[in-house]
Structure 1
Amino acid sequence: MSVNDDSLKPVVATIVGIALFSAMDAVMKSASIAIGAYSAYLLRCMIGFLLIAPIWWWRTRKMPTRSVLKVHIMRGIVVAFMGWTFFGALVRLPLAEAIAVSFIAPLITLYLAALILSEKIERRAILGALLGLGGVIVIVGGRIGRERLNEDSLVGLTLVTISALLFAWNLILQRQQALVSSPEEAGTFQNGVAALTLLAGAPFLLVMPPAPVWGELFAGAFLAVTALLFLTWAYARSETQRLVPIEYTGFLWASLFGWLYFGEQVRGATIVGAALIVAGCWIAARRKRPEQSAL
C-alpha cells in the first residue's frame, strides 16, 4: 500500500468523507435533542458496529495482531468521549458556534503529527490551516450575534473544546490505524470499542428512543460508517498534514445542508469564508513535483 500518494484521490476521498460526516451531524443533532447525546451516540455506535462488522469478518476472517489491536482500542476510547462531548455540545449550542470552536483541532493536529508521527510540517500545510481557520472565523463572524446562546452555553463551549482536543488526537490515531488495518477493520473496532466504552453508563443514562428516532439513528450510523471508510482509505495513502486542513470544508457542507433542508440563506460572509477555506485546502493539498533530471 502506498503511504504517500501525491495524486488528488486521497484529497477527494477526504472531502467525500467529511461531507458524509456533516450530514451525519445534522441527523444526530436531532436524535440527541430527542433522547440525549449519550443515548443517541451509544446506539449509533452499536448500529454502526452491526453494519460494518459482518463485512470485515467476511473479508478477513482473522483477528488483528496485539500491536494493531492496541491502536484500535486506543482510538475507540478516544472516539467514544470525542463523540459524546461533541453531540452534547450540539444540544446546547447553535451549530455554527460548536463547529467554529471544533476547528481548533486541525491546527493542534499539525503539531501532534510532528510530535507523534515524526512528520515534517511544511510551510504550505501551516498556511493552508491558517487560511482555513480564517475562513471559518469570517463565516462565523457573519452569524454570531444573530444566534442567541442558551443557558447551557458555558457547558456547551466546554464540551466542544474537550471534543476538539480529542478530535485532534483522533486524527493522529486515524493515520496510525489506517497504516495497519483495512477501512472495514478500522470501522468495526472504532464502533465496537466506542460502544463498549460507553456501555458502562447505560444503567444510569440510556433512554430508549421512539420509532421515528430509530430511523435517524440508523441513518446516522450508515453515514458515519461510510464516511469512516472513505477517510481511512485516504489517511492510509497521504500524510496527516496534507489532509487535516480539508477538515474545514465541513463548515461548507453544513452551510449547504442548512440551505437545502432548513432554508438558511447563504450570506456574503459565507462566500468569502468559503473562498478562504478552499484556498487553504488547495495550498495544503498541493505537492511539489520532483524536478526532472536534465537529459
Structure 2
Amino acid sequence: MNTAARSAPATYAQGIVLMCVGVAFLSANDAIAKSLTSGYSPLQILFMRNLIALPFTMVIALIMGGPSALRSHRPLAHLLRGALWVGAAMMFFTSFIYLGLAEATALIFVAPFFMTLISALFLGEHVGWRRWLAVLTGFLGVLVIIRPGGATFQLISLLPVATALVYAMLMLSARWVDRRESVWTLLVYLTGAGALLSALVVPFVWVPVRSEDLWLFAGIAMCGTVGMTLMTQAFRVAPAVVVAPLDYTGLLWATLFGWLIWRESPDSMTVMGAAIIIGSGVFTIFRERRPGSL
C-alpha cells in the first residue's frame, strides 16, 4: 500500500471535520442575519457583513495564496459575480422575515438542480436521464414544502427558490474568472464587490446601528468568513464526493437555531420535502463524481 493510499482516510477525516464545522458557521451566519432583519434592511445587513469581512478575507487570502491572491486578471467578471451575490443574499435575507429558518434553508438546497438545468439548457453540457430524474425529484421536494394552491401557500416561499437560482448562476459564473486566479482571489473579490455594490444603494435604507447590535454585525462577518474558508479548505483536502453531501447538515443546524431562538418547528411536509431534496441532491453528487456517469 502506498503512502497516498495510507493517508487518504486521515485526509478524508480532515475534510469531513472542516466541512461540518464550516457549515455550522454558515448556519450561524444565517441565524444572525435573521435576528437582524427585525431592525435593519437586508441590504444594510449585507453591506455591514461584507464591509467588516473584507479585511479578514484579504488577510486569509494573503496567508493562503500569497500577494498574487489579491490581483485579478478580470475585475469585471468579479463585479458581475458580485451583483449576483448581492441579489442572492438580498432575497435570502428577505425570506428570513417571513419564513422559518429551516424552511428557507431547505428550499435553497435546490441550487444544484438549477446548476444542472442551466448547464444543460444554456451551456450545452450533456445531462443523462438519471440526473434529469434527480432534478425532477428535487423540484418535487420543493412543491411538497411550498404546497402551491394549498391554504398554507405563501408567495414569499418562492424567494428562497429564486435565491437558489441566482446562487446557481453565481457558482457557474466562476467560469468567467481567469483560470490563473485561486479560490482565495474569488473570495476576496466577491466580498469586495458585494460591499461596493451594496454601498451604492444602502444610503436609501440606512438606519443608525444600535451599539448593542454591533457584536451581531461582527458575528455575521466572522461566521460567514470562517465558514466559507473552512468549506473551501474541505474541498481542497478531500474529494468533493466525500465532503459535498455534508453541506446538507446545514438543515440540522437551521432547525436547531430556529427552535432555540424563535421556537420554530418545521411541519411534517417541510421535513418530507427537505428529505426528498437532500436525497436527490446526494444522488446527483455521487453520479457526477462517477467516471462516465449520466
Distance 1:81 1:17 in 2: 23
**Letter paired with 1:66:** H
In structure 1, C-alpha distance between the alignment counterparts of 2:22 and 2:255, rounded to whole Å? 16
- Alignment-derived partner of residue 64 in structure 1: 71
Change (3 A) 1:135 1:247: farther
Deviations 1:24-63 (A, max 9, x none): 1111011122122111110001111122112223542134
Q: Tell me the secondary structure at the aligned position of residue 37 of structure 2.
A: helix
Percentage of pairs with the same residue: 27
Question: Is the deviation greater in 275-284 or in 205-214?
Answer: 275-284
TM-superposed deviation, 1:214: 1.5
* 1:79 Cα deviation from its structure 2 partner: 0.6
Match of 1:25 among 15, 30, 33: 30
Contact 2:32 2:220 in 1 (8 A): yes
Partner Cα distance (1:116, 1:234) in 2: 30
Secondary structure of residue in 2 paired with 1:33: coil
Is the CA contact (8 Å cut-off) linking 2:109 and 2:277 kept in structure 1? Answer: no
Shift of 1:173: 2.3
* Compared CA separation, residues 171 and 248, structure 1 to 2 (3 A): farther
Look up the SS of the partner of 1:188 in the other structure.
Answer: helix
Aligned-pair CA distance for 1:164: 3.6
The CA RMSD measured in Å over matched residues stands at: 4.1
How many residues align? The count is: 275
Number of the residue aligned with 1:3: none
Residue of structure 2 equivalent to 1:192: 192
Q: Paired residue for 2:60?
A: 55
Whether the 8 Å contact between 1:82 and 1:167 is mirrored in structure 2 is yes
User: In the aligned structure 2, how far is the partner of 1:71 from the partner of 1:64?
Assistant: 13
Aligned-partner Cα distance in 2 for 1:267–1:31? 24
Contact 1:127 1:284 in 2 (8 A): no
Tell me the residue number matched to 2:113: 107
Contact 1:47–1:221 (Cα < 8 Å) also in 2: yes
Distance change (3 Å), C-alpha of 1:97 and 1:284: closer
Q: Which amino acid aligns with 1:202?
A: V
1:1-43 CA-partner distances (Å, limit 9, x unpaired):
xxxxxx9789956665544333211110111221221111100
**Matches of 2:77 and 2:58, distance apart in 1:** 17
Assess if the C-alpha contact under 8 Å between 1:100 and 1:137 holds in 2.
no
TM-score computed with the length of structure 1 as normaliser: 0.72
Query: Hey, what's the Cα distance between the residues in 2 that align with 1:116 and 1:14?
Result: 31
Which residue is equivalent to 1:79? Answer: 85
- Other-structure match for 1:4: none
Q: For 2:39, what is the secondary structure of its paired residue?
A: helix
Contact 1:42/1:198 (CA < 8 Å) preserved in 2? yes
1:223 Cα deviation from its structure 2 partner:
1.8
- Given that 1:39 and 1:208 are in contact with CA atoms closer than 8 Å, whether structure 2 keeps it comes out as no
Consecutive unaligned residues in structure 2, runs of 5 or more:
1-10
**Matches of 1:97 and 1:282 in 2, distance apart?**
19
